[in-house]
Chain A
Amino acid sequence: MSMTMLSEPNIVPSAKKELTFAQALNESLREAMTRDPSVFLMGEDIGPYGGLFRVTEGLYQEFGSQRVLDTPITEQAIIGFGVGAAMVGSRPIVELQFSDFMALAMDQIVNQAAKARYMSGGQLSVPLIIRTPVGTGLGSQHTQSLEAWLMHVPGLHIAMPATPYDAMGLLRTALELNDPVLFLEHSMLYSTRGEVPVDPYKVPFGEARIVRQGSDVTVIAVSSGVTVAAKVADELAAEQGVSVEVIDPRTLAPFDMATIVASVQKTNRAIVFHQACRTCGIGAEIGQRIMEEAFDYLDAPVTRVAARDVPNPQAKSLEMVVLPSEQDLKRAINSVLYRSPA
Chain B
Amino acid sequence: MTTTETPLDAAASALSLYEQMWLIRLFEEQALDLFRRGLIRGTVHPSIGQEAIAVGVCSVLRSSDGVLSTYRGHGHCIAKGADVRRMMAELMARRDGYCKGKGGSMHLCDPDIGYLGANGIVGAGMPIAGGVALSMRLQSRDDVAVCFFGDGASNQGVFHETANMAAIWKLPLVLVCENNGYGLSVPTSYACSITDIARRAGGYGFPGWSVDGNDLPAVLEITKTAVARARAGEGPGLIECKTYRWERHSALSRTYHVDPTDATNWSRHDPIERFGKWLVQKGWLDEPIDNQTRQRAAQIVSEAVEFATGSDEAPSLEALSDVYDNVI
Contacts and interface: CB of A to CB of B under 8 A. Distances in A.
Interface stretch (A115-123, A143-151, A208-216): A115-123
Interface in A136-158: 154-155, 157
Interface string A52-72: 000000000000001101011
Q: Which of A69, A87, A89, A155 has the most CB of B within 10 A?
A: A87
Interface in B108-147: 109-111, 116-117, 119-121, 124, 126-136, 138-139, 145
18 contacts: A74-B161, A83-B127, A84-B128, A85-B132, A86-B135, A88-B135, A90-B139, A107-B124, A119-B99, A120-B102, A120-B103, A120-B107, A120-B117, A120-B322, A124-B116, A154-B323, A155-B324, A177-B326
B128 A112 contact: yes
B158 interface: yes
Interface in A1-54: 38, 40
Given A76-B158, A89-B135, A90-B134, 4 more contacts: A71-B165, A80-B158, A87-B116, A111-B120
A85 B137 CA distance: 10
A77 interface: yes
A74 B131 CA distance: 13
A33 to B, nearest CB: 12
A83 B127 CA distance: 8
A80 B328 contact: no
Contacts, number: 159
A119 to B, nearest CB: 4
Interface of A: 38, 40, 66-67, 69, 71-72, 74, 76-77, 79-90, 92, 107-108, 111-112, 116-125, 154-155, 157, 176-179, 204-206, 254
Top-8 shortest CB links A-B: A80-B127, A84-B131, A121-B99, A81-B131, A84-B128, A77-B161, A85-B135, A121-B100
B66 interface: yes
A82 B321 contact: no
A111 B324 contact: no
Contact of B127 (A77, A119, A122): A77
B99 A120 contact: yes
Contact of A84 (B120, B129, B323): B129
A80 B116 contact: no
A177 to B, nearest CB: 5
Nearest to B324: A179
Nearest to B164: A72
Interface in B146-168: 157-158, 161-162, 164-165, 168
Nearest to A42: B134
Interface residues of B, number: 49
B15 to A, nearest CB: 31
B109 A123 contact: yes
A178 B324 CA distance: 8
Contact of A107 (B98, B121, B129, B324): B121
B235 interface: no
Nearest to B111: A123
A303 B114 CA distance: 51
Contact of B322 (A76, A79, A117): A117
B164 A87 contact: no
B324 A88 contact: no
A86 B109 CA distance: 16
Contacts of A122: 100, 321-322, 325
B251 to A, nearest CB: 20
B97 interface: yes
A118 to B, nearest CB: 5
A178 B325 contact: yes
Contacts of A205: 328
Given A88-B132, A107-B121, A117-B322, A66 B138 contact: yes
B131 A87 contact: yes
Contacts of A112: 119, 121, 124, 128
A81 B127 contact: yes
Contact of B326 (A38, A40, A124, A178): A178
A90 B141 CA distance: 12
Contacts of A76: 127, 157-158, 161
Q: Which of B110, B116, B322 has the most CB of A within 10 A?
A: B322
A74 B162 CA distance: 9
Given A72-B168, A84-B132, A84-B145, A123 B326 contact: no
A181 to B, nearest CB: 11
A84 B136 CA distance: 10
Contacts of A117: 322-325
Contact of A124 (B117, B139, B168, B324): B117
A117 B321 CA distance: 10
